[in-house]
């Protein structure tokens, strides 16, 4: 089945370290997203990409960067991790839409990141 996958699934790192989270999809979708989930705060958008050459900041992009290496791959980097970046990170994809319409977002399984 077409799917969205994330690696690693769990990661523990130390303050100041650089870390990369990776997302791959076999759904053939053009659009990809990175969210973080914190208890009581829901899902907040970090970055999103409509295609390989189109990357946009979301609500909480400070401290993060992304790379869209191919249509199927979208990675999230923490250049210098800090403890308040401890969270559950989700990648998501969606098909491109026609004007005025919206498509379902499909989420990956998540990466649990702990920054000590």
Partner 1 sequence: GENVEQHPSTLSVQEGDSAVIKCTYSDSASNYFPWYKQELGKRPQLIIDIRSNVGEKKDQRIAVTLNKTAKHFSLHITETQPEDSAVYFCAAIFSGSARQLTFGSGTQLTVLP
Q: Where does this chain bind partner 1 (CB under 8 A)?
A: 33, 40-45, 48, 56, 58-59, 90, 102, 104-105, 107-110
76 membership: H or E segment, kind and range = strand 73-78
Q: Any idea what DSSP says for residue 27? A: S
All residues at 6 or more sequence positions from 85 whose CB lies less than 8 Å from its CB, including other chains = 36, 63, 78, 113, 115
Shortest Cβ distance from residue 18 to partner 1 (Å)?
26
Q: Of 5 and 15, which CB lies nearer to partner 1 in the complex structure?
A: 5
Distance in Å, CB of 82 to partner 1, minimum: 23
Between 20 and 43, whose beta carbon lies closer to partner 1? Answer: 43
- Taking every pair of Cα atoms in the chain, the longest distance, rounded to a whole number of angstroms, is 44
Q: Provide, rounded to whole angstroms, the least separation between the CB of residue 17 and partner 1.
A: 26
Q: Specify the residue, 21 or 81, whose C-beta has the smaller distance to partner 1.
A: 21
Angstrom distance (rounded) from CA 62 to CA 45: 11
């Amino acid at each position: 089945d077409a799917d969205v996958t994330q690696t690693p699934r769990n990661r523990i790192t130390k303050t100041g370290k650089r870390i990369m989270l990776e997302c791959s999809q076999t759904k053939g979708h053009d659009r990809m997203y990175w969210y973080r989930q914190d208890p009581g705060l829901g899902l907040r958008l970090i970055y999103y990409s409509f295609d390989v050459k189109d990357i946009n900041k979301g609500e909480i992009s400070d401290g993060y960067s992304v790379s869209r290496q191919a249509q199927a791959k979208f990675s999230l980097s923490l250049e210098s991790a800090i403890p308040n970046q401890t969270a559950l990170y989700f990648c998501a994809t969606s098909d491109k839409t026609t004007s005025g319409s919206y498509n379902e977002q499909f989420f990956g399984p998540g990466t649990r990141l702990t920054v000590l």
